[in-house]
Structure formats: C-alpha cells, structure tokens
Amino acid sequence: MKLNLSPIILLVASIVPTSLVSAPVVTASLAVASLAYTHQVLANELPDLGDVSATVLSPLQEQEIAEQIMRQVAVSDDVLSDIEVSDYLQSLGARLVANGPDKRQKFNFFVVQDPSINAFAMPGGVVGVHTGLILASNTESELASVLGHEIGHVTQRHLARMLASQKYDTFKNLAGIALALLVARSNPQLASGAMTTASAIGVQNQLDYTRDYEREADRIGLQILDSGGFDVRAMPQFFKTLQRGSRFAEGGAPSFLRTHPLTSERIADVANRVEQMPYRQVADGLEFQYVKAKLRAMLGTTQTAIDLFEQNISEQRYASAAAEHYGLAVALLRKSAWAAVEKELAWLKKNATPHPMIESLAARLEVARNKPAAAAEKYASGLRAFPDNRALIYGYAEHYLATKQATQAIQLVKSKQDLYVDDAYLYDLLAKAYSMQNKVLLSHQAQSEAYYRKYDLVRAIEQMDLAAKANDGDFYQQSIVEARLRQLRQMMGDEKKPKL
C-alpha cells in the first residue's frame, strides 16, 4: 500500500516534496492550510496558548488522529522497514524529546524512503524523516537540529492553534480532521466531497502566516539541541547549506525550501541566538555514521556504490574510516561478492569498535551464503554481546523460521518481548512460528496482537475472534483469548462513539 503523506505535511506547516503532490492532493492540502493561524507571535517570546487550542483539538483527539496515521504508516510501501535505521532515528528522537518542553507527549519517529531533503511533524507526536535528509546532514547535530525543529511544532501544538483561529464547520469534529489528514491515499477522489478548488485558490497567500510557527519551532529546536548536548551551531549551518544549494537549483530546490521559505531574516535570527550560547564541539555518534553509510550503500546501482566507497577509502575522504568500510561491505553484499564482504568484515573486526550493526552484517553474510550453522553462530554471538539489539533479534528469529525451527523462534521472541512490548513484528514472528506448529489459537492470538500494535483494531478483533473459535487451546489459553476479545470489542465500541 502506498502512503502519500503530502497533505499531512502541509497541514502542520512542515516540509513536503511538491513533486509528490498530485492536483487533487494539493486541493485538499491547501483547503486544510486555509485554517492557518494568523496571530502575530512576538519575536522573542513564546506565545501563551492558554485554553484556545484545546477548544478545537484536545491532546486525546490529537493522539487518536496520530494512531490513524500510524495505521497507514504500518502498511506503507513508502516507509523504510530497516530496523537499524528506524531504531537509530527513534533513539535520537527520544534523546531530543527527553530534553524538550513536553516530556509527557508520546512521539513516534519513522523513516520515509525518499531522496528529497525533508522532514515533517503531524498531530500526536508523529514525525517522519526522509532518507534524503539523513544523507544530506553533514553531522549528527545537523540532523538533530531538524528533528528538534519538528518536535517544536508538536509540543507547541501548531495544528490545534491553526484550527482554533478559524470557524470552519467542515473541521469542527474529529472525523473531518481525520479525513483531511488521511485523504491522500490510493484514491484521491476521497477529498472531493469535503474540499473544493475554490477554497484552495485563495489560500496560497495565507501560507506565509506559518512563518511565525517556523520561527517558534526554530527557537524550541535550539533549546532542545542545547539541553541535549548537541552543537547548536548546526542549525544555522544546515540552513545556510540548504540556501546555498538552492541558488543553482532552477526549481529543484530542496523540499525544505520550496514549502518553507528560508529567509535571511530567519537565518539571522537563529544565528544571533546561537552566538549568545556557549560553544560546544560535539563528535558524531558512530551509529549516525553507520546509518548514513548503510543508506548510501543502498543508493543507485551496486557497482556505483562500491566504486564510491572504494574511492573514498583510497583517498581517505571520510568522516569515519569504520563507517566507510562498513558501507562498502553492505554494497558488496548487494553484489553477492562474499569474499570481498568477508575481507571488509575482517578489517572492521580488527580496527573498529565492536558494534551491533557489524555483528548483524556478519550474520546476514552467512544467511546469504546459505550457511545456516554459521549464521546461527553469528547471531548467537552477536546477541551475547548486544542482547537488546532488535536487528539481531529479528534476524535470528527469521533464521529459525527459515530453517523450520519454530520452537527456537518462539523461545527467542518470548525472551525478548519484555524489552519491546509494543513491537508488532515480534508478534508477527510468533504468529508464523505457531502456524508452523499448527497451533491455530496461538497463531491467531499473536496475529491479533500484531494488528493491535499496528493500530488496526478491526483486524485485531477479527484475528482474536478466530482464536476464540479455535478448538486446539487449553482452558487457560481459551480464557485469555476470550477476555482479550471482549476488551478489544469494548475499545472498538468506544472508538465508534462520537467525539465532542
């Protein structure tokens, strides 16, 4: 399923690649954007929201919308499923949130497979980051500066403030807002009943009012960067890099700039604030370099990626030698050049600090070479060194399933579920393992819990109902399933009740 996130991005005054937005989607997006809040924010003072934002969207309603969005994210082909990249972004985001103004707000970070330089915030703490932005960030602090900016949009509740400033009947209930957020799917005609071209035409000029929100998010982002121990100078530096890159773009400027005009005034404001803050030299985390190398290794043709890594290593043109050798190994794995991959892994073992991404790559090499015993040994040793690493947990469980060792897969997953109680994929793996053992009740039960964690309550109920109807469970298992089914149905009943 394809997920078009563009109207969501425009809705919260964030960043969107215009090349991805079809005409009907633009219509819907601009109609929502017509709700833009026009109150002037004082230059050096964050506004007092008071109760005005709560009159339109309560935090609970924003969270309900976020769950609807995450349901689409869970099944989208556009969202990168690489757990190493995802976990890195989630970890970085969590570090920033912990140093933000609202530590109670739940956040979900995910990666969009897209080369454009882009990131966006949505209601309820949902933040998406394009792979292009990660690759364009010269330092981890630059990437953190964009995330901090987006966290600022969320914590300042810009969406609720936009809605609070207007009186549009179309958006006076949660259903209308949810429609606007989820409108750009496979059928763009979903928007036609609620939004018109006429409302879109007159709203383009109103988009400039979101500059106040941008300046506000910049200030919040700087505070978060400083508190989180990052280099605050990374924010104006990244802005300047984007601005310089756009001078010769001829319409191909980064998405960040096409929908977020980056004025000299805005850059100057951030730069002036940074000058008043203490200087801090911050080294990049090694995982940032590994993640960037992995993404670069997956770009373009395999040979082009290999040639680039080899040239960088030969000319010593890199921020991290270990990351460059790791990226080369990933690219060589794409080519099925097993001996060359083994050579790079040997270099990493000798010269690099032990890291779970290296261990996972070593195990994946043995899987690719169809050496199950060697793969099992690599996964086992990797988990001994890094017992909480999800890439190794996933890989080892998948290896057990591929080699028809369902019991071992179940034991592994169950031993790790307390670490990641909301991990839907671990339940997917359990469902497959139980199905392999012909345990119908347990398979449907696990699949239900997977759907529940993907925010798909309808399918969760369907699967739990099938589990309840299975006749192969004992009394204890049957009782658990029936109780859970009642609980899920009660949740569905609550979900169907009208929201005031």
**pLDDT tens-digit profile of 259-281?**
555 677 888 899 999 999 988 88
| Residue 308 lies inside a defined structural domain of this protein | yes
| Residue 1 lies inside a defined structural domain of this protein | no
- Tell me, yes or no, whether 448 and 374 share the same domain: yes
Structural tokens at position 418: 């307390």
Least confident of 87-91, 183-187, 322-326, 444-448: 183-187
The pLDDT tens digits for 176-231 are 444 444 333 222 333 334 333 333 333 333 333 367 888 899 999 999 999 999 99
| Residue 281 lies inside a defined structural domain of this protein | no
**CB-count exposure of residue 30 (10 Å: 0-12, 13-18, 19+):** buried
- Tell me, yes or no, whether 218 and 291 share the same domain: no
Asked if 33 contacts 10 with a C-beta cutoff of 8 angstroms, the reply is yes
User: What are phi and psi for residue 480, nearest 5 degrees?
Assistant: -60, -45
- Tell me, yes or no, whether 290 and 258 share the same domain: no
| Residue 360 lies inside a defined structural domain of this protein | yes
Pick the last residue of a domain from 254, 275, 296.
275
Asked if 188 contacts 24 with a C-beta cutoff of 8 angstroms, the reply is yes
- Nearest-5° Cα angle at 376, 370 to 380: 150
- What's the pTM value of the predicted model, to 2 decimals? 0.82
- pLDDT at residue 247 is higher than 90: no
- Tell me, yes or no, whether 220 and 328 share the same domain: no
**Using CA atoms, how far apart are residues 266 and 215, in angstroms rounded to an integer?**
7
The gap from C-alpha 47 to its chain's centroid, in whole angstroms, comes to 29
- Tell me, yes or no, whether 116 and 225 share the same domain: yes
- Tell me, yes or no, whether 206 and 316 share the same domain: no
**CB-count exposure of residue 249 (10 Å: 0-12, 13-18, 19+):** exposed
| Residue 492 lies inside a defined structural domain of this protein | yes
Tokens 């319409």 sit on residue = 251
What is the domain extent for residue 422? 286-496
The pLDDT value recorded for residue 166 is 54
Pick the last residue of a domain from 256, 275, 294.
275
| Residue 164 lies inside a defined structural domain of this protein | yes
- Tell me, yes or no, whether 362 and 256 share the same domain: no
| Residue 280 lies inside a defined structural domain of this protein | no
pLDDT classification of 15: cutoffs 50, 70, 90: very low
Q: How many domains does the chain have?
A: 2
- Tell me, yes or no, whether 293 and 184 share the same domain: no
- pLDDT at residue 84 is higher than 50: yes
**Using CA atoms, how far apart are residues 396 and 11, in angstroms rounded to an integer?**
41
The pLDDT value recorded for residue 495 is 62
The pLDDT tens digits for 144-175 are 999 999 999 889 887 667 655 654 444 444 44
Highest mean pLDDT among 36-50, 65-79, 191-205, 460-474: 460-474
| Residue 49 lies inside a defined structural domain of this protein | yes
CATH number at residue 350: 1.25.40.10
**Using CA atoms, how far apart are residues 318 and 374, in angstroms rounded to an integer?**
32
- Tell me, yes or no, whether 263 and 381 share the same domain: no
- pLDDT at residue 357 is higher than 80: yes
What is residue 122's DSSP assignment?
E
- Tell me, yes or no, whether 227 and 295 share the same domain: no
- Tell me, yes or no, whether 260 and 290 share the same domain: no
Pick the last residue of a domain from 275, 302, 326.
275
pLDDT classification of 459: cutoffs 50, 70, 90: very high
- Tell me, yes or no, whether 297 and 239 share the same domain: no
Asked if 291 contacts 88 with a C-beta cutoff of 8 angstroms, the reply is yes
